[in-house]
């Protein structure tokens, strides 16, 4: 039986594995050779290709790669931007805090909670020209607050779609884990 051994079918080799599979070819996922073997034989593409072929022929590589056309792939695709939005949102919140700590006195003493909406409106309105540290701080607060609000909206959109996909794939899962997961995420 002819088969193609492809390394990294979940990342860099995904396109090749999917193409070969669509052509009716047998595709086997091959693990990267261990470091000792790579050091002994040297690192090069032909050496890696030979090692992959040997793994397939010897029956050491038997994993069937993911097809990338299932519900799992949809969830994975949505979790990538959600994770980066969460990280960027945390960075924006930290930046707001840092800006407020170092802000000129007249801005620091204004009664305000750290809600991004309060930084975006009211005292943090955009100045006409940046000619003072206070004006620069107001503009910085407004832009960072708008970024944080946009990232919150992005996460809300992604969460709604992830919830819908999860409910379709595993209807009992949201009931069991949903409240616990939401509680944990509120802490972050």
Residue 94 token pair: 């930290």
User: Under a CB-based contact definition with an 8 Å cutoff, are residues 109 and 134 in contact?
Assistant: no
Q: Which residues contact 33 (CB under 8 A, 6 or more apart)?
A: 48, 51
pLDDT class of 99 with cuts at 50, 70, 90 = very high
Is 124 a residue whose pLDDT tops 70? no
Residue 43 token pair: 């690192």
> What sign has the CA pseudo-torsion 105, 111, 112, 118?
negative
CA distance 118 to 106: 15
Three-class secondary structure of residue 6 per DSSP = strand
Q: How far is CA 23 from the centre of its chain?
A: 31
Question: 119-123 contacts: CB < 8 A, separation 24 or more?
Answer: 119/144, 119/145, 120/145, 120/146, 120/149
Is 7 a residue whose pLDDT tops 50? yes
The conformation of residue 70, written as its DSSP 8-state character, comes to: S
pLDDT class of 170 with cuts at 50, 70, 90 = confident
Higher pLDDT, 122 or 21: 21
Is 114 a residue whose pLDDT tops 70? no
Report the pLDDT value the prediction gives residue 41, as an integer from 0 to 100: 66
- 17-73 pLDDT, tens digit per residue, is 889 888 888 888 887 766 676 677 666 777 777 777 888 888 888 777 777 778 888
Is 188 a residue whose pLDDT tops 60? no
Higher pLDDT, 118 or 107: 107
Higher pLDDT, 62 or 88: 88
Mean pLDDT for the chain overall: 80
């Amino acid at each position: 039986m002819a088969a193609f051994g492809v390394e990294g079918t979940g990342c860099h080799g995904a396109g090749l594995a999917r193409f070969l599979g669509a052509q009716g070819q047998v595709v086997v996922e091959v693990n990267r050779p261990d470091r000792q073997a790579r050091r002994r034989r040297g690192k090069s593409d032909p050496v890696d290709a030979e090692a992959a072929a040997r793994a397939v022929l010897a029956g050491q590589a038997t994993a069937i790669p993911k097809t990338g056309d299932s519900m799992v792939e949809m969830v994975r695709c949505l979790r990538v931007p959600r994770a980066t939005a969460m990280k960027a949102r945390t960075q924006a919140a930290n930046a707001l805090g840092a800006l407020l700590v170092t802000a000129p006195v007249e801005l620091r003493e204004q009664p305000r909670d750290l809600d991004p909406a309060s930084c975006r409106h009211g005292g943090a309105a955009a100045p006409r020209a940046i000619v003072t540290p206070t004006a620069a701080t107001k503009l910085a607060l407004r832009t960072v607050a708008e970024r944080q609000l946009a990232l919150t909206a992005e996460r809300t959109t992604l969460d709604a779609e992830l919830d819908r996909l999860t409910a379709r794939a595993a209807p009992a899962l949201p009931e069991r884990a949903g409240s616990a997961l939401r509680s944990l995420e509120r802490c972050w």
